[in-house]
Chains A and B, each alone.
Chain A
Amino acid sequence: MSVAGDEGFRDFVVARSPHLLRTAYLLAGDRSSAEDLVQSALLRTYLAWDKVVNADDPWAYSLRILYTTSSHMHRRRRVKEQLGPAPEIASPEAAGVEERDELQRVLLDLPRKQRAVVVLRFYQDLSVEKTAEILGCSSGTVKSQTSKALAKLRNSPALQERIGRSAAK
């Protein structure tokens, strides 16, 4: 890679890595796994930097790499992940701790693609089409996975309680 390419990558990491880390945090469930995931994804992003900067949407491309890296890490640690990583416990002072942990538990219970759909559509605020492009599937698949994921999230008692409290305010 050229020096200019390195500089572009450096700027990208400084500007976007916190956002990638938060996205990975939702996908992976805990801080350590999120950092591992983003580190691995950025290594691959660097090696494919020419493709990233020449892509129509470099940010979407980097999310794509994050997702595929997550898939690889999932395969390698399938047994561990099937047991389920312990959700990170936020400080007791933080409001809504239980609901957030419950959300993380419900997210981790979702199949990986459904989890990714939820994170990309409702955290990243991406369109169905852009989500489909990142996940390498059809728009119809994104819609169906979204529907299934939302149904499961709605069935979470703790999340229902949280939403009920919000509605009562």
Chain B
Amino acid sequence: MSMDATELRELLHERAATATFEPLDPGSIISLAQIQHRRRQQTRAGAVLAGLVTAAVVTVLVVEAPKSERPASLIPATIAPQLTPSARLTPTLPAPSFAPLPKGWIAAPPGPLPVQDATGTRVGGKIVYWGGGDNGVGALPSYSTKGAVFDVTRRRWAAMAPSPLSGRTTMATAGSDGVYFVWGGYATGLGYFDDGALYDVVANSWKQVAPGPLGAQATVGAVWTGSEFVVVSGPGPHSGSAAAYNPATDSWRRLPDLPTTPASASLLLVSGRIVVFGAGASYVLSPDGASWSLIASPVNIDPATLTFASEGDYAYAVGTVASRPAPTPQPLSLQRFSFAAGSWDVRPSPPLPEVECYPTLAMSTKEVFLGYCGGNAVFNRAGQFWSSTSEAGKGRPVAIGSELVFYYPGADRTLIYTGP
């Protein structure tokens, strides 16, 4: 007895008819897609903070100093009295047992956060994870107002004091030596926010910041310049508008608008200069903050997958090559920028399979980490070569000095990649 095509068709149609499906709600899919897109942009913004290596060293020295010599708060004294009374840091959780890890990986205690989408931001020698929403599908996501701080030096977690901000995701965040800055963000049902706060990692206390001039809309990101937190707006009624918040005076000043807001834009520091890289157009802010100048952009990368990270004098970009016709999976292209070169140069391609995916990029002082649909590889910056690593999985990397910290929300796992 054999089976012909007609019989197989009948069986398949019968099987498919055993389940009745109603049309999905396009509105919820669009909302989720927009949230995911912003999350990816936010992940890139988190990696920007890898550029503050010098600041990290200073903070480690402060934190490691005898208690009597430590400042009560790293927020300037002019606004410190306004801070919410601090709560004691909660005891850290005992370290769980992990499977043996390969050389170059260290297991740390799991994080205490219930949230699944908290964004990691480097603040001196610590990483602050705050906010985020769950991955609810088909219903309004719920957002967390909780947060936790991972002390990279001591490999310990501590919970954060309650935040004065409502829960949100895709907010602009940045860290100074000891202060976490959060501005804007989005929550389904509430829209974009135009408020923000400072969190002092030493005093474990929050303070809301003065109202800003940017309005409630998407943000490209935020960076700490050494004296101000600079925020650039993303798509919205005032796309490309920029402002700087001074924590010492709790005041804002407007910066010139970007000439255009490029797709897949990232706000970064390169050689201490404020840069917005994007697809097709990239800009650097003049040292006096008076104007933006056009600089080179990566070439031949699909804007939808373009991802940036920076550290020190270099920025790297990765994304899928744009030249081949869709929908064939595209190979990845890695490119490097420095002001000394003034252009992007193509580096060796990552040794990862071609799939349709959004890459994740983070830079330590030694390596560039690339996450790509569960496949991971690290690029040695000095030797300019790739090697694969399997441990990172879907953890979100935050670079701090020469290390990369991977927090696995909801998976009770924290790993640190120290390199080979």
Give A residues with C-beta under 8 Å from B.
Answer: 6, 9-10, 12-15, 17-18, 21-23, 25-26, 31, 34-36, 38-39, 42-44, 46-48, 51, 55, 61, 64-65, 68-69, 71-72, 75-76, 88, 90, 94, 96, 99-100, 103-104, 107, 118-119, 122-123, 125, 136, 150, 153-154, 159-160, 162-164, 166-167
Contacts and interface: CB of A to CB of B under 8 A. Distances in A.
A75 B18 contact: no
B22 interface: yes
B15 interface: yes
Q: Which 4 A-B pairs have the closest CB atoms?
A: A13-B26, A21-B21, A10-B26, A22-B16
Contacts of A31: 19
A159 B326 CA distance: 38
Nearest to A30: B19
A46 B30 contact: yes
B373 A75 contact: yes
B29 A68 contact: no
B18 A94 contact: yes
Say what secondary structure dominates the interface of chain A. Answer: helix
Contacts of B19: 21-22, 25, 31, 34, 88
Interface in B347-379: 355-357, 373-374
Contact of A13 (B8, B29, B356): B29
Given A68-B329, A100-B18, A122 B12 contact: yes
B37 A47 contact: yes
Interface string B29-70: 110110011000000000000000000000000000000000
A44 B356 contact: yes
Given A43-B33, A122-B8, A167-B1, A104 B27 contact: no
B3 A14 contact: no
A154 B25 CA distance: 39
A60 to B, nearest CB: 9
Contacts of A125: 9
Q: How large is the interface on B (under 10, 10 to 19, 20 to 34, 35 or more residues)?
A: 35 or more
B5 interface: yes
Contact of B30 (A9, A64, A71): A9
A6 B24 contact: no
B287 interface: no
Contacts of A61: 326-327
Contact of A43 (B17, B36, B329): B36
Contacts of A96: 14
B27 A103 contact: no
Given A46-B30, A47-B37, A103-B15, 6 more contacts: A9-B26, A18-B22, A26-B15, A39-B32, A55-B326, A118-B8
Contacts of A22: 16-17, 19, 21
Interface of B: 1-3, 5, 7-9, 11-19, 21-27, 29-30, 32-33, 36-37, 137-138, 304, 326-329, 355-357, 373-374, 394
A26 B16 contact: yes
A154 to B, nearest CB: 5
B16 to A, nearest CB: 4
Contacts of B3: 150, 153-154, 159-160, 163
Contacts of A122: 5, 8-9, 12
Contacts of A166: 7
Contacts of A44: 356
A15 to B, nearest CB: 8
A114 to B, nearest CB: 13
11 contacts: A6-B30, A22-B17, A26-B12, A68-B327, A68-B329, A71-B355, A72-B374, A122-B5, A122-B12, A154-B3, A162-B11
B357 A72 contact: yes
A151 to B, nearest CB: 10
